[in-house]
Amino acid sequence: MNQNSGSDPDFALDLDAPIGKTHAMDIRLIGDLAVVKNGQSLPLPNSRKTRALLAYLILNPGPHRRERICEIFWQVPDDPRGSLRWSLSKLRSLVDEDQVKRIVADRDSVAFEPNGAAIDIFSLRAALAGGVAALVNGRLEQLATLASQGLLLGADLSGQPDFDQFLSREREAFRVLRRELLCELIRRHRDTPADAVRWLQELVDIEPYSLQAHVALIETLIKAGRKPDAERQLKTSLSVLSEIDGIDLAALRYAAAGKPPASTSGAPLSSERADEQPLDQQVRFCKAADGTKIAYATVGTGPPLIKTANWLNHLDFDWESPVWRHVFRGLANGRSLIRYDARGNGLSDWNVEDFSLERQVSDLEAVVETVGLDRFPLLGLSQGCAISVEFAARYPDKVTKLILIGGYARGWNRSGSADIVRQTEAMITLVAIGWGRDNPAFRQMFTTMFMPDAPPENQTWFNELQRMTTTPKNAARLLRALGDVDLTARLADVRAPTLVLHARDDMRVPFNAGRELAGGIPGARFVSLDSKNHIVPDTDPVWPVMLKEINDFLAE
């Protein structure tokens, strides 16, 4: 989700009016694309690609290389540059004015500049900058109603996979924003179930596989005196959730009977658990040495802990997912946790070519410099361990302690195993060909390797997190770049006290890789975990053991 805003943050309460106060031009991306000048809707170009190009340029502050735009929108025509020129001429006539240029292009690049235009999605994000809890009820309901229209309806393009990935990512970010609004409204209407039903119904629409949301809706219908509606919802919920293996459908029947079990009754609908204090992360951006924009987030208070990026992070989606939230909340307890999305995924720039270890270390360097920390402990998970080791060896005066979980010093191409090389080459081919498809089977292969013993909800989330976090091309490039990592000669240069943890039956990174890490770092302490999971769910008995080891080590 881009953080750019080209609009005025003042709002009108009239939902029929643009979200901002009156402007000479309003561009609406929420719902159907619309361009409104002096209160009158302008006719849009007939070309779907031209309309999609406008949305892409607005949501991605440029400039963008013409070659890249042609790759995204015109993979087939003989003259993609000619098609681009034609589309830009149509957009100029739509959004440019006598003294105001909004389509800015030269021989090599293209960009959109708001120049006074109000853009509804940016205004909506500006309204939420202070958090949903700060909004009065009327404004909160107004924004939730606006968000219910969805983002860029009808903007899909067939046969353009790069644009499809972009649009899916933006819509998912918008869904997360909408979910935040709905959860706050549901929280405020806990004592008025008749009012809460509407917002719970919308939540179930956007979270169709959330048992918690279905249970809460059925329970609230009962409390509102709408038992027939609750029984109808029970049938619908059973039909939808029966598709998920291992889910506790009995919880739905208990809710419909007005007797939800203790494990689900009153469960919060936000990502916070009942026994957790609310934590609000702050997302900001910095630039790496090659100009790549890197997104980073800070959360919590206390001494700092920096976590390096690992396989396909997304600061927003990870924060609310059952895959990662227990990890990040555990690490942020009593600390200031700083984490970031590496190049090519999450909220950081996707349009990058270089995924080498050197570039990934430069991402970490940029975050450290921007945050302004002189000394701090560093934590790496999986591929993040290699980044952490190189950084610790390069900056011994900065890293006070080093924690490595499920890591390795040598990538798959340097492992010395022909079987691992063949297996990974096959995986890269599958990623490049099939990962972007709606069928999750291609991604399930990775999910099974990362968390074979995780609950079905976690596996479903991880399947989708991978799809929404980057493009198939970037995922394949990243996998290939990781294969060439070899830090065996650098391990002895690490001076920080080091804790290495590794699952004994890890299906993603072999146990011996963790032993090699610990054996090469002077004085490193090695802890084996009795688990198969590379990413440890909160249901795994080793999770509290792992967290205690980390906390005790940092407290020493």
Q: What is the pLDDT of residues 327-383, one digit of tens each?
A: 998 999 889 999 999 999 888 888 888 999 999 999 999 999 999 888 999 999 999
Instruction: Give the Cα separation of 128 and 148 in Å (integer).
Output: 16
Residue 101 identity (one-letter amino acid): K
Instruction: Give the Cα separation of 251 and 248 in Å (integer).
Output: 6
**What is the band of 456 on the pLDDT scale with cuts at 50, 70, 90?**
confident
Quick check: 269 and 187 in contact, CB under 8 A?
Answer: yes
Across 20-29, 79-88, 285-294, 535-544, least confident range: 20-29
Is residue 422 helix, strand or coil?
helix
Q: Would you give the end-to-end CA distance of the chain in angstroms?
A: 39
Q: Which two tokens stand for residue 288?
A: 């790496």
Instruction: Give the Cα separation of 245 and 103 in Å (integer).
Output: 50
**What is the band of 21 on the pLDDT scale with cuts at 50, 70, 90?**
very low
Instruction: Give the Cα separation of 109 and 64 in Å (integer).
Output: 5
Position 22 scores a pLDDT of: 47
Is residue 362 helix, strand or coil?
helix
The overall pTM is greater than 0.75:
no
**What is the band of 74 on the pLDDT scale with cuts at 50, 70, 90?**
confident
Q: Which two tokens stand for residue 70?
A: 């042609």
Position 17 scores a pLDDT of: 44
Quick check: 213 and 195 in contact, CB under 8 A?
Answer: no
Structure confidence by residue, pLDDT tens digits, 397-453: 999 999 999 999 998 888 767 877 887 787 788 777 766 555 555 566 667 778 888
Structure confidence by residue, pLDDT tens digits, 207-218: 887 788 898 999
**What is the band of 18 on the pLDDT scale with cuts at 50, 70, 90?**
very low
Instruction: Give the Cα separation of 444 and 448 in Å (integer).
Output: 6
Quick check: 197 and 217 in contact, CB under 8 A?
Answer: yes
Q: Any alpha helices (H) in 131-226, and if so which ranges?
A: 137-147, 161-188, 193-206, 211-223
* Edge-to-edge strands, sheet with 25-28: 40-41, 34-37, 25-28, 118-119
CA atoms within 13 A on the CB side of 257: 8
Domains belonging to the chain, first-starting first, are 25-177 (1.10.10.10), 189-256 (no CATH), 282-411+487-555 (3.40.50.1820)
**Residue 23 pLDDT greater than 70, yes or no:** no
Structure confidence by residue, pLDDT tens digits, 464-475: 777 778 888 888
**What is the band of 277 on the pLDDT scale with cuts at 50, 70, 90?**
very low
Instruction: Give the Cα separation of 449 and 426 in Å (integer).
Output: 15
Is residue 376 helix, strand or coil?
strand
Burial zone of 507 (CB within 10 Å; 0-12 exposed, 13-18 middle, 19+ buried): middle
- Measured from the Cβ of residue 158, the count of other Cβ atoms closer than 10 Å reads 8
Structure confidence by residue, pLDDT tens digits, 264-275: 433 344 444 434
3-state secondary structure 124-156: HHHHCCCCHHHCCHHHHHHHHHHHCCCECCCCC
Cis? peptide before 77, omega within 30° of 0: no
Structure confidence by residue, pLDDT tens digits, 541-552: 999 999 999 999
- Measured from the Cβ of residue 421, the count of other Cβ atoms closer than 10 Å reads 15
**What is the band of 300 on the pLDDT scale with cuts at 50, 70, 90?**
confident
Burial zone of 541 (CB within 10 Å; 0-12 exposed, 13-18 middle, 19+ buried): exposed
Q: Which two tokens stand for residue 168?
A: 């899916």
Instruction: Give the Cα separation of 159 and 188 in Å (integer).
Output: 44
